[in-house]
Chain A
């Protein structure tokens, strides 16, 4: 399935409009309910959606990274160390986290991306573990297993966003910027190159597309976005440890991406919007939470192979047949 074919599928435009309205309405829920907890969940959705968007960019060139949490961790530690040790404003720490994560991805990307499919998945899995173990072994920088507590909150031009209600609009702005970047990539020449590489690597290569460089660009951009999301998470939650960025977090991002729609532009956002609050409905039902979570995931993957984003198209198709 090509990237372009999903984005230009005809006949679902009204559905897309409905989707956009629903997303906007979902974004305003916390203001309607006024619940601080809902603001917290909404901020977590934004952070997850940003990180998953980064993973989507990598998926657009046909690769699946299981080191995404590690890049989020690199961004988080970079920002926290710069802010705590060098008194850098958080507003600069966040992009610095993205830059360092992107730079690391760029350096290791060219040898790693020679691997494809399951081999790339395995090597990135190993990378994520390597990151966690290295961080555990340098407690003077990472806080070791104790982690770093009391991380300064996000502040904008001297104003600290101390309440969840204040953080949420900023999180929405950041998420919009990330999605805006995705739209730009998707509509530009780079997006077409990504799609060609994802569709058929050999054909793209023979057409003169520098496939290795294209994949590395996607890996760098995706990991930089993860770094930004990780830095945001660190300053929002106020506590990080190497365990925060373990393999499980990488898997959660993959699940969000696949559930939302692996190649769709809005897939990461929809996946995060669905899966971040889901555990909250199940938190009290300890005995059944993992079973229910599993069943929901299997149902989505079985009946919605294009992810939740494909639901309107599938409904429209069924409606047409009827």
Chain B
């Protein structure tokens, strides 16, 4: 009897250790901004990767080529700085040996780390809005979120037409992201028959916008555009513009940030704003993700987060399709071959061949919402062809 129990214990131990050996760890880097003004974007991205990892780990790990991988997310802060991002990327690639990175948030950081990631075949999924992030010679970089270049024109056409906007003022951070967006928007407004008449650039850590807003408002603009500003900064601009007595249209044609804007500016100041929205709360899966996010992290969800959740899930599918986690060239090709992916935000496809020379830009439906009582209320549904 005693011998039998020893045998049983030994076999149980062998079974446990056997199954433990069969499961390996797949490390995914999250090189995002977790401190400073861009932190709400960075946290949204990091948590998206964590939630996607949790999903597969819950089922015993991600099964690729007959092996189960427990997904581990290693997160480093780049403080929205190129040099910090380079050091963190070096650490992820050479020390932690990751082959997949969710990040970066900023445009300058992604341009700075690409020499490392592209040379070492590390797949990155960036939020960086710069057009230079995607090109034919940067084949390991993907962008799961739409940028101003994708969403601005249809939304601006709609706003100009329905709100009778002729002149627009805007404030942009004085960096790569801000300047790229300013250029895109100026062209988009002109095409829509309006003008971006007054623009001001400022340092990203600025909190007092009264002088800049006074100059803009004195030019008699019909609307103030907030695209390109971090969620918290956008909230401060809304509040200060309303404090100065601006009663025209305030709009944000890119970069989901409504919840943060309402939190900072207050419901009254944000009332009636037109905002870009990444998802329709009417879509059950999107709503469920938001609820899960809020429940898990006890913070409002940044609108970019669902894109990176879908992006990470697509990456997992690409690994499964390629049957490998090691050969990133194969995973990259499998990722490119994914079509009509049913994500939480809707049906996704890769686009961007014409614009960037490589189809690594995710195309997804988007919406224009009006802020009512602190909540988004969808007023137009859009795709790259237009809004209605």
Chain B window 171-182, contacts with chain A (Cβ cutoff 8 Å), 1 for yes, 0 for no? 000111011100
Name the A residues within 8 Å of B174 (CB-CB).
136, 145
User: Quick check: A145 and B178 within 8 Å, CB to CB?
Assistant: yes
User: Quick check: A44 and B132 within 8 Å, CB to CB?
Assistant: no
User: Quick check: A40 and B94 within 8 Å, CB to CB?
Assistant: yes
Which of B77-85, B151-159, B242-250 sits within the interface?
B77-85
Name the A residues within 8 Å of B95 (CB-CB).
35-38
A144 within 8 A of B: yes
Contact residues, B77-128 vs A (CB, 8 A) = 77, 81-84, 86-88, 90-91, 94-95, 107-108, 111-112, 114-115
**Given A146-B111, A147-B108, A150-B115 in contact, is the A280-B175 Cβ separation under 8 Å?**
no
Q: How far is the CA of A244 from the CA of B84 in the complex (A)?
A: 10
Size class of A's contact patch? 20 to 34
User: Quick check: A286 and B179 within 8 Å, CB to CB?
Assistant: no
**Given A150-B115, A241-B82, A286-B77 in contact, is the A145-B175 Cβ separation under 8 Å?**
yes
A171 to chain B, nearest CB (A): 15
Name the B residues within 8 Å of A280 (CB-CB).
87, 91
User: Quick check: B82 and A147 within 8 Å, CB to CB?
Assistant: yes
Chain B interface secondary structure, helix, strand, loop or mixed? helix
Name the B residues within 8 Å of A35 (CB-CB).
94-95
Q: How far is the CA of A131 from the CA of B357 in the complex (A)?
A: 35
B71 within 8 A of A: no
User: Quick check: A239 and B90 within 8 Å, CB to CB?
Assistant: no
User: Quick check: A237 and B83 within 8 Å, CB to CB?
Assistant: yes
Contact residues, A128-157 vs B (CB, 8 A) = 136, 144-147, 149-150
Name the B residues within 8 Å of A114 (CB-CB).
none
Name the B residues within 8 Å of A111 (CB-CB).
none
User: Quick check: A147 and B86 within 8 Å, CB to CB?
Assistant: no
B130 within 8 A of A: yes
Contact residues, A150-169 vs B (CB, 8 A) = 150, 164
Contact residues, A239-285 vs B (CB, 8 A) = 239, 241, 243-244, 279-280, 283-284
In this complex, what residue of B is CB-closest to A150? B115
Name the B residues within 8 Å of A146 (CB-CB).
107-108, 111, 130, 132, 176, 179-180
Contact residues, B58-77 vs A (CB, 8 A) = 74-77
User: Quick check: A149 and B176 within 8 Å, CB to CB?
Assistant: no
Taking a contact as CB atoms closer than 8 A, the residue among B34, B112, B179 that contacts A237 in the complex is: B112
Name the A residues within 8 Å of B175 (CB-CB).
145, 243
Contact residues, B121-179 vs A (CB, 8 A) = 130, 132, 174-176, 178-179
Contact residues, B281-306 vs A (CB, 8 A) = none
Mark A residues whose CB is within 8 Å of B: 35-38, 40-41, 44, 136, 144-147, 149-150, 164, 237-239, 241, 243-244, 279-280, 283-284, 286, 289-290
What 4 A-B pairs come out closest when comparing CB atoms? A36-B94, A37-B95, A239-B112, A37-B94
